[in-house]
A and B are shown apart, each in its own frame.
Chain A
């Protein structure tokens, strides 16, 4: 009575699991012939744990996922086409709205692309400030992610509230520096917009010094919790080969055991001057993805400490740089950085006019989301929710 007729919904075809485009997918679960009817459930776009407006079209055998189709685009805002009609400076505030948790790193990646395109140098003090803000952004992102993930696991808000308590402190820093908590619009071509004052640096120093203690408490609440381990270990395994082939980047890739971090690989900015390590996981499951982020935060604290100590004086903006009416000579450039979610990159093509002729965003959430079905097949609905949570998506960036 309650179940849709497989023939009428076209679900009869589901019994044949199609091969993946990447040719790597091994179906983790195929329903037996003669098993019960399948149930098609639409998780989202209005669902408590799809992190925005995202839909998973799930076909279930009992609670086991037989097929999962990610459906997105509900938050599409024409970002890339807008970029082609907007001046180089005018696109900067739009990048805030891609991954709206990490406007600082989005700004930086875009600034690098334009700087490459127009051949603008960045002052040393600005490079340090960028590193400080990017690492603060990473702390913010990973803390929030852990909170959201635990909310998806079924916590009654406690880890999320602790995460947001700390996030608030970082947002206060962003606000007092840039004027806005989330839409910072802070980086400029050749440097940054505002020079941080001594009080701001002192406040950042205080936050950095206290963050380790917060992480200790947060991890005491979660990392050793038997229920968390039971829920997350062995769930949503991502093999390193699939991760590499699918273009997965960031903590997700590293959790699968691939030590690829653009801060080391590209050594952009002044990262080569800092001493830090890149944690990598072994299993590539949800727990590894969570723990890799926790460990990355410890490294970020160390980077912040070094950057605050070594912050040089000088101007924050290259005097030869130009913001308004920038007309780079014809050419193309790709600027990328290691954002908290993975490789965030901007590809720009200039034809010598004031607007780029092509503006393309390589959004880490979007690329990381493409393997969602591979991770979820054979797991239950409850697992799909936490697997999605562990991928760390922001729909502003996925749909653009």
Chain B
């Protein structure tokens, strides 16, 4: 009968009108900016560079200017210049560092491929989304000083992922120290003819237990 569908429709809208006053499922608007969005941990926006400390961000950047991300970035928004000199990294090892590291956020498409390909866990995705600049060229071209954020900040925005990364880095460091120690011990023990069997025995389990010596399976874990 003509009109049945129309009345049914009116009933649906009436139900929603009344429901908006008592049923949260029928009143879904969140009033930004009073109510800030609850970002999931996996949320990503633009990349930032991880530094070990907040006091000396430029001195403790994890980035070694290997330029893998620069090559892999699909829209080619990363620009890196290697340093001429070397600086000690967090492990005290001398490393090249990025003299220039710039990301054009006007071009960046937040795909996080740079994060996936970085072997040093040096670049991660930020969650800062309310970004504005008055100059659309220079204002959006971020240099390494603007990009560097401490590891503590990384822990704050991606806690699960950051802990995993820290654990992995710590394990790698331990393995490296262990290796160095073994190498030193081996060097010290080299003159003695009977030593190799004794020295090799503890070395084998140490090597297989350290994730640093084999490539980590799959892409860097990120939480969901």
Q: A87-B72, A158-B13, A185-B111 are in contact. Are A179 and B218 (CB under 8 A)?
A: no
| Interchain CB contact under 8 A, A179 and B219 | no
- Report chain A residues within 8 Å CB of B224: 176-177, 194-197, 199-200
Q: A91-B74, A93-B111, A315-B218 are in contact. Are A175 and B43 (CB under 8 A)?
A: yes
**A396, chain B: closest CB distance, angstroms:** 13
- Report chain B residues within 8 Å CB of A324: 68, 72, 116-117
> For A168, A172, A323, which residue has the most chain B Cβ atoms within 10 angstroms?
A323
Q: A93-B74, A183-B110 are in contact. Are A194 and B42 (CB under 8 A)?
A: yes
| Interchain CB contact under 8 A, B222 and A89 | no
A221 at the interface (CB under 8 A from B): yes
- Report chain A residues within 8 Å CB of B9: 220-222, 225
**A115, chain B: closest CB distance, angstroms:** 16
B42 CB contact (under 8 Å) in A89, A96, A177, A220:
A177
Q: CB within 8 Å of B: which of A317-332?
A: 317, 319, 323-324
Nearest A residue to B115 by beta-carbon distance? Answer: A179
A204-243: contact bitstring with B at CB < 8 Å (1 yes, 0 no)? 0000000000000100111111111100000000000000
- Report chain B residues within 8 Å CB of A222: 9
A222 to B11, CA, bound (A): 12
A138 at the interface (CB under 8 A from B): no
Q: A91-B74, A220-B9 are in contact. Are A180 and B110 (CB under 8 A)?
A: yes
| Interchain CB contact under 8 A, B4 and A185 | no
A276 at the interface (CB under 8 A from B): no
- Report chain A residues within 8 Å CB of B218: 315-317, 319
B132 at the interface (CB under 8 A from A): no
- Report chain B residues within 8 Å CB of A94: 74
B113 at the interface (CB under 8 A from A): yes
**A163, chain B: closest CB distance, angstroms:** 12
B8 at the interface (CB under 8 A from A): yes
Nearest A residue to B15 by beta-carbon distance? Answer: A217
A193 at the interface (CB under 8 A from B): yes
A163-190: contact bitstring with B at CB < 8 Å (1 yes, 0 no)? 0010010001001111110010100100
A217 to B224, CA, bound (A): 31
Q: CB within 8 Å of A: which of B8-35?
A: 8-9, 11-13, 15-16, 28
A200 to B109, CA, bound (A): 25
- Report chain A residues within 8 Å CB of B116: 193, 323-324
| Interchain CB contact under 8 A, B40 and A175 | yes
A180 to B116, CA, bound (A): 15
Interface range on chain A (Cβ under 8 Å from partner): 35 or more
| Interchain CB contact under 8 A, B28 and A168 | yes
Q: CB within 8 Å of A: which of B167-224?
A: 217-219, 222-224
A217 to B14, CA, bound (A): 12
- Report chain B residues within 8 Å CB of A178: 42
Q: CB within 8 Å of A: which of B55-98?
A: 68, 72-74
Nearest A residue to B71 by beta-carbon distance? Answer: A87
**A280, chain B: closest CB distance, angstroms:** 24
**B18, chain A: closest CB distance, angstroms:** 14
- Report chain B residues within 8 Å CB of A247: none
A168 to B28, CA, bound (A): 10
A227 CB contact (under 8 Å) in B4, B6, B109, B110:
B6
Q: A175-B42, A177-B42, A324-B117 are in contact. Are A188 and B219 (CB under 8 A)?
A: yes
A179 to B222, CA, bound (A): 9
Main secondary structure of the interface of A (DSSP, over half): helix
| Interchain CB contact under 8 A, A89 and B72 | yes
**A1, chain B: closest CB distance, angstroms:** 41
- Report chain B residues within 8 Å CB of A162: 16
**B162, chain A: closest CB distance, angstroms:** 15
Nearest A residue to B41 by beta-carbon distance? Answer: A176
| Interchain CB contact under 8 A, B3 and A226 | yes
| Interchain CB contact under 8 A, B72 and A225 | no
| Interchain CB contact under 8 A, A93 and B113 | yes
A370 at the interface (CB under 8 A from B): no
| Interchain CB contact under 8 A, B12 and A226 | no
A196 to B44, CA, bound (A): 17
B109 CB contact (under 8 Å) in A87, A91, A93, A223:
A93
Q: A90-B113, A158-B13 are in contact. Are A319 and B8 (CB under 8 A)?
A: no
- Report chain B residues within 8 Å CB of A20: none
**B27, chain A: closest CB distance, angstroms:** 10
| Interchain CB contact under 8 A, B42 and A221 | no
A86 at the interface (CB under 8 A from B): yes
> For B11, B12, B41, which residue has the most chain A Cβ atoms within 10 angstroms?
B12
> For B11, B28, B218, which residue has the most chain A Cβ atoms within 10 angstroms?
B218
- Report chain A residues within 8 Å CB of B125: 179
A179 to B73, CA, bound (A): 18
Nearest A residue to B215 by beta-carbon distance? Answer: A319
B112 at the interface (CB under 8 A from A): yes
B133 at the interface (CB under 8 A from A): no
| Interchain CB contact under 8 A, A221 and B112 | no
- Report chain B residues within 8 Å CB of A92: 111, 113
16 A-B pairs whose Cβ atoms sit less than 8 Å apart in the complex: A87-B72, A90-B74, A96-B111, A97-B109, A176-B42, A177-B224, A179-B42, A194-B42, A194-B224, A199-B224, A222-B9, A316-B218, A317-B218, A317-B219, A319-B217, A324-B72
List of 10 A-B pairs having minimum Cβ-Cβ separation, nearest first: A93-B111, A224-B5, A176-B40, A90-B74, A179-B44, A179-B42, A225-B5, A221-B12, A197-B224, A317-B218
Extra pairs beyond A92-B111, A172-B40, A222-B9 (5, CB < 8 Å): A91-B74, A176-B42, A179-B125, A220-B9, A323-B219
B interface list, Cβ under 8 A from A: 2-6, 8-9, 11-13, 15-16, 28, 40-44, 68, 72-74, 109-113, 116-117, 125, 217-219, 222-224
